[in-house]
Chain A
Amino acid sequence: EAQVTQNPRYLITVTGKKLTVTCSQNMNHEYMSWYRQDPGLGLRQIYYSMNVEVTDKGDVPEGYKVSRKEKRNFPLILESPSPNQTSLYFCASGRARVSHNTEAFFGQGTRLTVV
């Protein structure tokens, strides 16, 4: 089954404790992206990647890191989480540079609470 898998689904952590949210897709997609979703603000892009070893900042990259060492994985790293990073996070993947009809496939989301 074609899917994007995020882990964990729920996470409560303390300020300053490094964490990683994993994202994996099995569709051989070049494009992967991380978004955070907050009430009234919708989906805001954190980082995206057009292919292996190619990553770019989105609209709200501060406090986050990503890596793309393999095509299927795109982990989101919070080196020193703060309460303002409490949010619902989504990973998405899609084809890139093939056509204008790049559908984004989303994971189930990770609800992160930083106390």
Chain B
Amino acid sequence: TQLLEQSPQFLSIQEGENLTVYCNSSSVFSSLQWYRQEPGEGPVLLVTVVTGGEVKKLKRLTFQFGDARKDSSLHITAAQPGDTGLYLCAGQSYNNNDMRFGAGTRLTVKP
């Protein structure tokens, strides 16, 4: 059982569409991070959210941390083929900053 559940597992959309992916847990985290991974590479950090209810924007990507610090969402507006990749969320525990990852959402944006 994953500590962090991500949904959907796979998502295939057309260029220009909007989408939201989710990261949920029963645990409370000190912070939550979103990473993007491309084939043959390690994950690369997109954003860190720290405060419950926090919203951060990175161009067409909007990240939100749940009020209870147990969940997060990533919304992409007007998706482009360059957004294709595996999106991973990672929760950081309070006691030792150790990080656990979700299984990821594999996004494909078709031209």
Contacts and interface: CB of A to CB of B under 8 A. Distances in A.
Interface of A: 4, 31, 33, 35, 40-45, 48, 50, 56, 59, 90, 92, 94, 96-97, 100-104, 106-109
A108 B43 CA distance: 9
Contacts of A108: 40-42
Given A101-B48, A106-B42, A106-B44, A43 B97 contact: no
A25 to B, nearest CB: 12
Contacts of B90: 104
Q: Which of A33, A90, A104, A108 has the most CB of B within 10 A?
A: A104
Interface of B: 2-3, 6, 9, 30-31, 33, 35, 40-45, 48, 50, 88, 90, 92, 96-104
Nearest to A33: B99
A86 B104 CA distance: 20
Contacts of B35: 104
B103 A97 contact: no
Contacts of B3: 59
A102 B102 CA distance: 17
B80 to A, nearest CB: 24
Contacts of B100: 45, 59
Contact of B96 (A35, A50, A104): A50
